[in-house]
Amino acid sequence: MCGIVGYIGNRDAFPVVLNGLKRLEYRGYDSAGIALYDGTDIQMCKTQGKVADLEAKIQQNMPTKGTLGIGHTRWATHGVPNDVNSHPHYSNSGELVIIHNGIIENYASIKKELKKRGYTFTSDTDTEVLVNLIEDIKINEKVKLGKAVQIALNQVVGAYAIAVFDHNKPDEIVVAKLGSPLAIGIGDDEFFVASDATPFIEFTNNAIYLEDEEMAIVRRGREVKVRKIKGDSVVVPYVQELQLNLEQIEKGGYDHFMLKEIYEQPSVIKDTYRGRLLSDQGIIKLGGLDEYIEKFTNANRIIIVACGTSWHAGLVAEYIFEDLARIPVEVEYASEFRYRNPIITEKDVIIAISQSGETADTLAAIKLAKEKGAFVYGVCNVVGSTISRETHSGSYTHAGPEIGVASTKAFTTQITVLTMIALRLAKVKGTISQSDYMMHLHELETIPAKVEEALKSDENIKKISAVFKDARNFLYLGRGYNFPVALEGALKLKEISYIHAEGYPAAEMKHGPIALIDEQMPVVVIAVNSNHYEKVVSNIEEIKARKGKIIALVSEGDTAVKELADYVMEVPITPEALSPLVTTIPLQLLSYHIAVMLDRNVDQPRNLAKSVTVE
């Protein structure tokens, strides 16, 4: 939640900070602001709205000179989105300026104390409290900015990635991290700070990712100094070489990032298994898994923790792990798991799934599981993210940057990794026959072509979208491996079109949701070839009998469902365990087209943010 960016060096800071905010806008987009030091004064502009609104306001109002600048794009936590609550925030003297991603939980008591000492506040934010606490410490304890930040952070409870500078010391930016991500880009005599590396990718490939409870002083033309916030020890930072490139974070001719990311799926699924799946030799090699294979084979059970779409990928994994590797699996919302005193033993293996690798609840669930002695394996997309560092081992999904707030390629690549893990475990445990194992390996390699094929029905899906775009509700039904796909299809529609949608196991329909069905209700039924096919056909009959409108997703060559359905979307025939990788595609396209037709902001739907770094 919230994106922060900063620059200090020799070039103009404004374009770097502004472009950085545009790239970080996926993290929050209800308000934005920039502060620049122009050599004499601080210039600041803030506004409710998007970064484009900020840009327009700056063009009318603000000089943009200066080689030091910080910027913020907000997803409100404390205080409604408006100009005043937007970041950056000044301290009372006007000397210090701060941007912050996170929540200061004990801000109310600190604010009370500061008020007693004469401080006043213009905003409702916790961040303005923090910058004044830093100022108070700096003045009263007569310390430099870095020390004041450190003392202040030892008094606050919560999560933060902050960047703060002092009008009187415009050669440095002080940054610190706990719970929210913070990367420092290292150029020639220049530094960048940001919530992720995308704002500085065209300037440098070298970055330091601060660990929790670390702070750094980034000084113009000097080395970055990293310290522990508690205890003050010096940290020798690890400078990581980035694998990102500019092309990956641009739209590449598509109208929306979401559409680009949907269409990238054939190639990113291939990237996910490239070098890991050697089908002719019958080998699956996953670096992070091989070393710890016994943790899995000796485990009493696997507990999967995740949120949102990643949780749906976990549900698909539950089917495949139990089906092929015969390991009991529980799938938990990280946000529930962390607070319900779960029973975890050293014989449990936890798999944490997260695209961003920064989701606060998933991170907290990981920490809890580690405290209880469980082995924790991460399945993350963002390289170097907090979850990838906090887990004992793991596998990256290699989907490339996912910018659209609605997760698409992250989901299919997560399932690809989880499928490879399940197949490898099944092989080691001997719970799969050699022929079945080889069949799945070969079939996994055909998935990119099948996804390509599924994408070809885009025009047909667009026509179906036009018919149903004004529906008030949707029902999504699936069984077995495709029940989680029904949940995911409904989530996609909800989050980008704002149409109410529910995913349900098809057989559960008659235990309640069937009451909702009338001639106004579109029901998307996943009815591809599977062990449940006949039963799904019966479910479709039940909906027809109540005049519901059936949009059926069928396998190529289907005849029975086609006769019953009002509208049909087709996908290539795929073994059931791998079918979610293909059935997901038309549902992504359906929600995308409906949202476009309703003129929704597809890449930045209201109230959402890409990465939920607050609980």
Of 552 and 612, the one with the shorter C-beta distance to ligand M6R is: 612
Residue 307 is a binding residue for ligand M6R (CB under 6 A): yes
CA 233 to CA 251: how far, in whole Å? 43
Residue 360 is a binding residue for ligand M6R (CB under 6 A): no
2 among known catalytic residues: yes
Candidate ranges 59-67, 401-409, 451-459, 499-507; the one touching ligand M6R (CB under 6 A): 401-409
Catalytic residue, candidates 177, 260, 492, 610 = 610
Residue 265 is a binding residue for ligand M6R (CB under 6 A): no
Catalytic residue, candidates 2, 45, 307, 380 = 2
Residue 406 is a binding residue for ligand M6R (CB under 6 A): yes
CA 594 to CA 409: how far, in whole Å? 19
| Residues 469-508: x where in contact with ligand M6R by CB under 6 A, - otherwise, as a string | ----------------------x---x-------------
Residue 335 is a binding residue for ligand M6R (CB under 6 A): no
CA 418 to CA 410: how far, in whole Å? 12
Q: Is 124 exposed, middle or buried (0-12, 13-18, 19+ CB in 10 A)?
A: middle
Of 68 and 369, the one with the shorter C-beta distance to ligand M6R is: 369
Residue 384 is a binding residue for ligand M6R (CB under 6 A): no
Write out the two tokens for 416.
Answer: 């690809």
Residue 356 is a binding residue for ligand M6R (CB under 6 A): yes
610 among known catalytic residues: yes
Residue 561's Cβ-side half-sphere holds a number of Cα atoms within 13 Å equal to 29
Of 210 and 406, the one with the shorter C-beta distance to ligand M6R is: 406
Residue 613 is a binding residue for ligand M6R (CB under 6 A): no
Q: Is 480 exposed, middle or buried (0-12, 13-18, 19+ CB in 10 A)?
A: buried
| Long-range contacts of residues 550-557, Cβ cutoff 8 Å, at least 24 apart | 550/523, 550/525, 551/464, 551/468, 551/522, 551/523, 551/524, 551/525, 551/590, 552/524, 552/525, 552/527, 553/524, 553/525, 553/526, 553/527, 553/528, 553/583, 553/586, 553/587, 554/527, 554/528, 555/528, 555/529
Q: Which of 47, 354, 555, 604 binds ligand M6R (CB under 6 A)?
A: 354
Q: How far is the CB of 193 from ligand M6R (least distance, A)?
A: 21
Q: Which of 335, 355, 419, 604 binds ligand M6R (CB under 6 A)?
A: 355
CA 45 to CA 337: how far, in whole Å? 41
Residue 407 is a binding residue for ligand M6R (CB under 6 A): yes
Of 127 and 407, the one with the shorter C-beta distance to ligand M6R is: 407
Of 190 and 196, the one with the shorter C-beta distance to ligand M6R is: 196
Residue 310 is a binding residue for ligand M6R (CB under 6 A): yes
User: ∠70-13-253 over CA atoms, to 5°?
Assistant: 95
Q: Which of 327, 523, 581, 612 binds ligand M6R (CB under 6 A)?
A: 612
> Longest C-alpha distance within the chain, in Å?
81
Q: How far is the CB of 362 from ligand M6R (least distance, A)?
A: 5
For strand 277-278 and strand 301-306, is the pairing parallel, antiparallel, or unpaired?
A: unpaired
Of 54 and 585, the one with the shorter C-beta distance to ligand M6R is: 585
For strand 375-380 and strand 393-396, is the pairing parallel, antiparallel, or unpaired?
A: parallel
- Give SS3 for 86: coil
User: ∠89-91-94 over CA atoms, to 5°?
Assistant: 100
Residue 210's Cβ-side half-sphere holds a number of Cα atoms within 13 Å equal to 35
Of 85 and 310, the one with the shorter C-beta distance to ligand M6R is: 310
Q: Given the rule CB under 6 A, which residues bind ligand M6R?
A: 307-310, 354-356, 359, 362, 405-407, 491, 495, 608, 611-612
Catalytic residues: 2, 610
